[in-house]
Amino acid sequence: MHHVRFRDPAGAVRRGLWHDDAITFGGERFDRDEVDVLPPVEPSKLVCIGRNYADHAAELGGDVPERPLLFLKPPNAVAGHGDTVTLPAGKERIDHEAELGVVIGEQCRHVAAADAMDVVAGFTCVNDLSNRDDQRRETNWVRGKAFDGAAPIGPVVADPEHVPEDAAVRLRVNGETRQDGRRDRMVFDVPSLIEEITTYMTLEPGDVVATGTPEGVGPLADSDRVEVEVEGVGTLEHAVRIP
């Protein structure tokens, strides 16, 4: 199943099921254009992984790390399907980064890789928007990665069995394909990432692990329309605005 969070025509926030042509909840059926699709979860944090594809590390002129490179995005970074994200003004380069997002289903700590999928509620699409101007000038990446709207996610959470081990991870800007990778090309797989992260911190229900981006990252311009597609999940769509 594909689970969606939305605001119905009466203004109530609901959690329903996403179908090819509609959304259902409580015996009711809604056309997608009559509801507001919301971010599918409300994470306490997004744990993001840097340079988890060898081809992306190479395009940035960096090496693959010996252990997962972790950084955080806070709740203010979350944006949803159909949103227009206002990017920081006055920057030379803000990049798109298509990623497979892992949604955590239960509070967990010290999870072994062998048990990691037991705490996974499902998968979603993530765009790890990155302000390169400031990212290059700081070591903690707050300005570069944690600005408002820096993590569009959605449109749904897909049950794990819907997402193949070699699921395609793609991104298009204004209809042009810029990124085209696969889940099985990650350096550190999902169980390994969950084991490493939970060695250091507790993950809460609804938290998202953004698993890294394949090669092809590039800059965005004012009014660009972005599509992040993960095979088995669907397509996250959003626009960007640069003041």
Tens digit of each residue's pLDDT (9 = 90 or more) over 92-118: 999 999 999 999 999 999 999 999 999
pLDDT of residue 128: 98
Residue 72: strand, helix, or coil: strand
Look at the alpha carbons of 160, 119, 236, 230 in this order and tell me if their dihedral is positive or negative.
negative
pLDDT at residue 210 greater than cutoff 90: yes
Query: What is the residue extent of each domain of the chain?
Result: 1-37, 39-241
* Amino acid 64: pLDDT: 84
The band of 59, judged by pLDDT with boundaries at 50, 70 and 90, is: confident
155 upstream amide cis, omega within 30 of 0: yes
> What is the band of 57 on the pLDDT scale with cuts at 50, 70, 90?
confident
What is the per-residue pLDDT for 170? 98
pLDDT at position 58 is 86
CA separation for the pair 20, 16 (Å, rounded) = 13
pLDDT tier for residue 137 given thresholds of 50, 70 and 90: very high
Residue 61 is predicted with a pLDDT of 81
Q: For the chain, give the percent of residues with pLDDT over 70.
A: 100
At residue 232, the pLDDT reads: 98
CA torsion through residues 141, 142, 144, 148, sign: positive
pLDDT in tens, 213-243: 999 999 999 999 999 999 999 999 999 999 9
**8 A C-beta contact, residue 131 and residue 141:** no
Tens of pLDDT, residues 184-209 = 999 999 999 999 999 999 999 999 99
CATH 3.90.850.10 fits 39-241, yes or no: yes
- Asked if residue 121 lies in contact with residue 157, where contact means CB atoms within 8 angstroms, the answer is yes
- pLDDT tens digit sequence for 2-12: 999 999 999 99
- In 3-state terms, what secondary structure has residue 21? coil
- Domain 1-37: state its class: mainly beta
Residues linked to residue 53 through DSSP beta bridges, in sequence order:
186
The encoded tokens of residue 152 equal 């569009």
Do residues 70 and 47 make contact, with C-beta atoms less than 8 angstroms apart?
A: yes
Give the pLDDT band of residue 63 (cuts 50, 70, 90): confident
pLDDT value of residue 45: 98
Q: Which residues of 149-170 are buried (b: 16+ CB within 10 A; e: fewer)?
A: bbbbbbbbbbebebbeeebebb
